[in-house]
Structures are given as structure tokens and as C-alpha cells.
């Protein structure tokens, strides 16, 4: 891959910060931030993306796959999408 493609890929890794009560607790206690990331993202990609976008050094990255909840849509049962989050 060329340098341009790699940089473009890094910009699409981080989708959004995960804002929740647990995320706030983790941020205060462990000095970590939680992000929603692309489902095919790897730890080295997440680390590189955070370092590039926020100009910080990342100590470690933990990734967790979150299973989508079962929900009812009218008469039918369906499920929300599975997603991935990263503790940085």
C-alpha cells in the first residue's frame, strides 16, 4: 500500500468516541479513552490512528467485540449490528 492509502485507512479506523457512564469511569480511573472502531481494525492500526490524529503516544490498546442486542421490529425479531470498541 502507498503512504496515501495507509493514511486514508487510518482516518477511517476511529468512528466515534464511546460516551457512557462506564467510559467516564474508565477515563478518570485508568486515563483511558474508549472509541468505536471499524469492525476490521487491528490493535496496531488503532494505535497508529490515535497517535496520528491526537499527537499523543499510546501505551496500550485493548479491543473488544460487542454483540448487537436482540430487538423487536414490529412483528419481527431482529438484531442490531455487532461492533467493536477499543480502550486506548
What 3 state SS string does the chain have?
Answer: CCHHHHHHHHHCCEEEECCCHHHHHHHHHHCCCEEEECCCCCHHHHHHHHHHHHCCCCCCCEEEEECCCEEEECCEEEECCCEEEEEC
Q: pTM for the full model?
A: 0.85
- Superfamily for the 3-87 domain: RRM (RNA recognition motif) domain (3.30.70.330)
- Residue 33: predicted pLDDT: 94
What does each of the 88 residues of the chain score in pLDDT, given as a tens digit? 677 888 888 889 999 999 999 999 999 999 999 999 999 999 999 999 999 999 999 999 999 999 999 999 899 999 999 999 999 9
Can you give the pLDDT at residue 18? Answer: 92
The pLDDT of residue 2 is 76
Amino acid at each position: 500500500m502507498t503512504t496515501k492509502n495507509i493514511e486514508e485507512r487510518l482516518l477511517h479506523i476511529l468512528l466515534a468516541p464511546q460516551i457512557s457512564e462506564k467510559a467516564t469511569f474508565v477515563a478518570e480511573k485508568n486515563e483511558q479513552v474508549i472509541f468505536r472502531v471499524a469492525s476490521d481494525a487491528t490493535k496496531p492500526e488503532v494505535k497508529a490512528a490515535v497517535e496520528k490524529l491526537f499527537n499523543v503516544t499510546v501505551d496500550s490498546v485493548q479491543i473488544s467485540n460487542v454483540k448487537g442486542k436482540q430487538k423487536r421490529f414490529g412483528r419481527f425479531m431482529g438484531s442490531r449490528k455487532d461492533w467493536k470498541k477499543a480502550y486506548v
